[in-house]
Amino acid sequence: MDTNRLTVGQAVVRFLKNQYVERDGIENPFFAGCLGIFGHGIIAGVGQGLTQNTDFRYFMTRNEQSSVHIATAYAKMKNRMGTFACISSIGPGATNMITGAACATINRIPVLLIPGDIFAHRNVAPVLQQLESPGSQDISVNDCFKPVSKYWDRISRPEQLITSLPEVMRVLTSPADTGAVTLSLPQDVQAEAYDFPEELFRKRVWKIARPRPDLTSLKEAIGLIKASRKPLIVSGGGVIYSEATAILQKFVEKTGIPVAETFAGKGALPYNHPSNLGAAGATGTPGANEISGEADLIIGIGTRYSDFTTASKTAFQNPRVKFININVAEFDAYKHCALPLTGDAKATLEELLVELGEFRVDEGYVKRVAELSRSWDKLVNGFYNVSGNIPVEQAEVVGAVNDFAGPKDVVLCAAGSLPGDLHKLWRTRDPKGFHLEYGYSTMGYEIAAGIGAKMACPDREIYVMVGDGNYLMMNNEIVTAIQEGIKCTIILLNNNGFASIGGLSQSIGSQRFGTKYRFRDEETGMLTGDILPVDFAQNARSLGAFVIETHDISSLKAALDEAKSRTETTVITIETNLTKGVPGYAWWEVAIAEVSEIETVKQAYAEYVEHKKKQRYYL
């Protein structure tokens, strides 16, 4: 057997750059390179491997968490057919990636994390940044990755790579099991040499299959659909990752079954399709929630049924409602005691379409759905209309950006009050035009993710919409965007506080306590003084961005036009109203104090008890 004498770090890099994926006959490299920050515990191993493999590009980031967000956004835009490796030093560099790992795993997005680890030989312990345990010497902070990883391994001997690396790829390329994969590499082992078999480094193509559902279950599903009178499709991210949007539209147009979209599934149908009811659940449209409440059959496609999608188990109120779940992951297919069609969304819809024959729902139902869709679009026009108020309303900003963006441009967001408004209001015209990370709703995701999204689709304009709270959490990757010549347009909405949590606080009777960016009042001791004088524009300039300050919708539109002509990352700032939001949100369960001296909390708790009565188990 031919061998190559390489260090573990060199072997890892050489292996990764020879991994490819193929689906439907289209083949691509799986890794676009490596993201991270060099430091103690990684530089002499994987770092040296990257130095002698410059065709596997290394990107310097400014925070290890950001690295994972860039990789996640890239993989999301690539429909999980590509990603990055993310490296870190030992200790705090490694644990910085844990939030990103959780974000990727919860969203079912593949990323590879390679944190440096403490010495395997132990004789110099405790080393700098090492966590010691009196109960075991076989533990480090990297063990914290275990609950947020779909696969976790520590390489304590070089030859372990031979069996570990194929498992890494198996999980990363699995539509059912993908998420964050952590390969923990002790720093001494990284630098050790071994005679690795040449076959480990040959080009390997991982074929992404389209599994078909069980035939008996498929026939049973056909019976349930034909017996239904008000079926509803809940379209999740799996529809888009499977590239099933065209067959979904064909299925909907033939059967007349309407669609409501989750955050990850928004864009499964064009916003103006008459069968598209828009956003589902807690942030849903009136029409989607009305039909959800009446539906006798829910066909969940590629959804994991988060509490936002189910309005905390209050959305589906028909006492005889049944569920069919089409999902490549068995874990999700069985949710709500559904009839599981465990398989690829595109393949399963193709089979259902054939087997349903001429089935079509009642035309009265089709017309009612179309009217609900049209009526919501008229309401959106109203939200988009410019009020002339200063500061402007957040919905007006959404409207201005939406109207300006091209059909294939991408809006990107993750946390705060913006995601809910975008879910309800954004008019999506392309399956990849709506990039919301709302599985983990990670504050700080946006700017880093904008880089990853742009790297995945350089021909599209990326509009990162971010509130002041998220911007302050993680704005450092603006420097990376400038360094790499990656252009995004960042719309920074400053409402001088945490609007989302403030609104939530108000809804549970806590009166927006601790959610405003204000000085402390010396008399009361509360954060109720003057607004903090934060200069966001100057901050963004200091990081290298081109900055345009705006104050109203007219100047915002002009700024968007100027930003499109720029070649570098541009930040547009605008102040928005902290408390003026989009009405009509459905219930979402957040615990409320059962006993309180505050009258507003007592009132909120009484409403909470009433809402709880509508919650259901689906058995």
Mean local confidence (pLDDT), 547-576: 97
Mean local confidence (pLDDT), 7-19: 98
pLDDT, one tens digit per residue, over 400-435 is 999 999 999 999 999 999 999 999 999 999 999 999
pLDDT above 70 for 224 = yes
Instruction: Give Dmax (Cα) for the chain.
Output: 80
**Residue in 252, 419, 234 with CA at minimum distance from that of residue 310:** 234
Mean local confidence (pLDDT), 3-29: 97
Structure-block tokens of residue 190:
């990284």
pLDDT above 90 for 465 = yes
Percent of residues, the chain, with pLDDT higher than 70: 100
pLDDT bucket at 15, cuts 50 / 70 / 90: very high
Residue 247's H or E segment, with its range, is helix 245-255
User: Mean of the per-residue pLDDT values for the chain?
Assistant: 96
User: Residues 533, 536, 541, 543: what is their CA dihedral angle, to the nearest 10 degrees?
Assistant: 110
pLDDT bucket at 1, cuts 50 / 70 / 90: low
pLDDT bucket at 582, cuts 50 / 70 / 90: confident
pLDDT above 70 for 217 = yes
Q: Residue 143: phi, psi to the nearest 5?
A: -65, -20
Long-range Cβ contact pairs of 138-144 (< 8 A, separation 24 or more): 140/90, 140/184, 141/90, 141/91, 141/94, 141/95, 142/90, 142/94, 142/115, 142/117, 142/182, 142/184, 144/95, 144/98
pLDDT, one tens digit per residue, over 99-142 is 999 999 999 999 999 999 999 999 999 999 999 999 999 999 99
Which domains are delineated in the chain?
3-207 (3.40.50.970), 215-375 (3.40.50.1220), 386-496+532-575 (3.40.50.970)
pLDDT, one tens digit per residue, over 495-550 is 988 888 888 888 888 888 888 899 999 999 999 999 999 999 999 999 999 999 99
Which residue carries 């988060």 as its tokens? 306
Mean local confidence (pLDDT), 373-378: 97
Query: 19-23 and 26-29: which strand pairing?
Result: antiparallel
Spatial distance between the Cα atoms of 497 and 500, rounded to a whole number of angstroms: 9
Q: Is residue 482 a contact partner of residue 545, using CB atoms and an 8 Å limit?
A: yes
Characterize 119-150 residue by residue with b for buried, 16 or more Cβ atoms within 10 angstroms of its Cβ, and e for exposed.
bbeeeeeeeebbeeeeeeeeebbbbbbeebbb
Strand partners, 231: 297
Q: Residue 252: phi, psi to the nearest 5?
A: -65, -45
pLDDT above 90 for 254 = yes
Residue 375's H or E segment, with its range, is helix 363-384
Residue 194's H or E segment, with its range, is strand 193-197
Q: Is residue 339 a contact partner of residue 325, using CB atoms and an 8 Å limit?
A: yes
Q: Is residue 206 a contact partner of residue 30, using CB atoms and an 8 Å limit?
A: yes
Spatial distance between the Cα atoms of 417 and 437, rounded to a whole number of angstroms: 13
